Structures are given as structure tokens and as C-alpha cells.
Amino acid sequence: INIHPYDPIIDLLLSEGYASVSLLEDKFSFSKEKAYYILEDLEFYELVSDEDELGIRDILFEDKEEAYELFNQ
């Protein structure tokens, strides 16, 4: 089975219901720069929204299947 490198991040976002740099920093011990890069990547694939004034991003997918469909478009 082929597991996407962002699989644990997709799981986290589905369980938390939002995305932010601080969430990825806290849960995965990523640097601020790495967390920001990942979220920008997810935004490019339309999995998350742009960040609001508080740095929160909306999740734009309902489940893993939809997330992987967006990656493959």
C-alpha cells in the first residue's frame, strides 16, 4: 500500500477540524518554517484555505479519500 507522506497530517487535520502552523508545531515538533511550508503546499492542492488573521486555516476536504483525490488532480 502506498501511503502519502502527509498521511499523519491529514489524520490530524480531520480530527482537529482546522489547520495552523502552531498545531503542526505542537503535534509534530515541526519548525515554524516547515509547518508553514506544509500548509502552503496543502493550500496549493486546495486541501486547506488561506490563513485568517489568527493563522487558522479551514479544512476543505471531508475525508482521506477526498484529500488524496485533491492531491492527484
Residue 3 confidence (pLDDT)? 82
Q: Report the helix count and the strand count for the chain, using DSSP H and E.
A: 4, 2
Instruction: Output the pTM of the full model.
Output: 0.92
Could you read off the pLDDT of 5-50 as tens digits, one per residue?
A: 999 999 999 999 999 999 999 999 999 999 999 999 999 999 999 9
Nearest to 22 by CA among 35, 9, 34, 6: 35
pLDDT band for position 1 (cuts 50, 70, 90): low
Does the pLDDT of residue 73 top 90, yes or no?
no
Does the pLDDT of residue 2 top 80, yes or no?
no
